[in-house]
Amino acid sequence: MGMAAEKDTIQLISKLRELTGAGILNCKQALTEAGGDITKAQDIIRAKGLDIAKKKGGRETKEGQIFSYIHTGGKLGVLLEINCETDFVARTESFQQFAKDLTLQIASGHPLYVSSDNIPAEDLAKEKLIYIQELQGKPEAVAEKILQGKLAKRFEEICLLNQKFIKDDTRTIQEYVNEVIAKTGENIVIRRFIRFEVGGQS
């Protein structure tokens, strides 16, 4: 490898680290697997991050912080609780930035729940009933597939973890959480949030 090519590789690794928070060796390996394509390398890192997230998902999260955001003019506000495993991680710059991004996401995206698991059974049944009525007359297998697609689309609108990240619509908030888990080495849980808007419903 020539010096120019080596310099380009180092710059790509550096850029990939900046985008994903992954370690140097992981970034180098992902770029090799992706043939130097940084977008594909990000997908590889994210996939590995998801594996890390699954492994750490059962670990207790007793630390964390409550974060707030008040929009200019004081007409809109957000309170958010994020939990992690240690106070050390809760105070890191990357965790604080993550929390700031999420408060902006909630303010802008207006989610109603953290995830689809938090939707009350009664409300979920109502959502399904609306779509089922629309699908009457279609074959059962086709109707079920369309129903799942419509629910997934609805979850993207009302569930924080399913929403597209407002700063990067190529990934969801769940993928962002997975990347933070991979970067910090700790389980991270978005516990709850509330959104206030003057003259509207929270």
Mean pLDDT to the nearest integer, 98-124: 94
Q: At a CB cut-off of 8 Å and minimum separation 6, what does 40 contact?
A: 33, 34
Tell me how far apart the alpha carbons of residues 189 and 45 are, in angstroms, rounded to a whole number: 20
Tell me what the mean pLDDT of segment 40-47 comes to: 81
Do 132 and 144 touch, CB atoms closer than 8 A?
no
Q: What dotted CATH number matches 63-115+159-197?
A: 3.30.479.20
pLDDT of residue 155 exceeding 60, the answer is: yes
Q: Residue 74 corresponds to which tokens in the numbers above?
A: 């004081």
- What does the DSSP assignment read for 47-107? HHHHHHHHHHTTS---EEEEEEEE-TTSSEEEEEEEEES-HHHHTSHHHHHHHHHHHHHHH
Does pLDDT of 167 surpass 90? Answer: yes
Statement: 3-56 belongs to CATH 1.10.8.10: yes
The whole-number pLDDT of residue 202 equals 52
Round to whole Å and give the CA distance between 16 and 96: 21
The mean pLDDT of 178-191, rounded to a whole number, is 88
**pLDDT tens digits for 52-109?**
667 776 777 888 899 999 998 899 999 999 999 899 989 999 999 999 999 999 999 9
pLDDT of residue 164: 95
Name the pTM for this structure: 0.72
Q: What are the residue boundaries of the structural domains of the chain, listed by start? A: 3-56, 63-115+159-197, 120-157
Over 80: is that where the pLDDT of 195 sits? Answer: yes
Reported as a pLDDT band with limits 50, 70 and 90, residue 3 is very low
* Mean pLDDT of the 39-50 span: 78
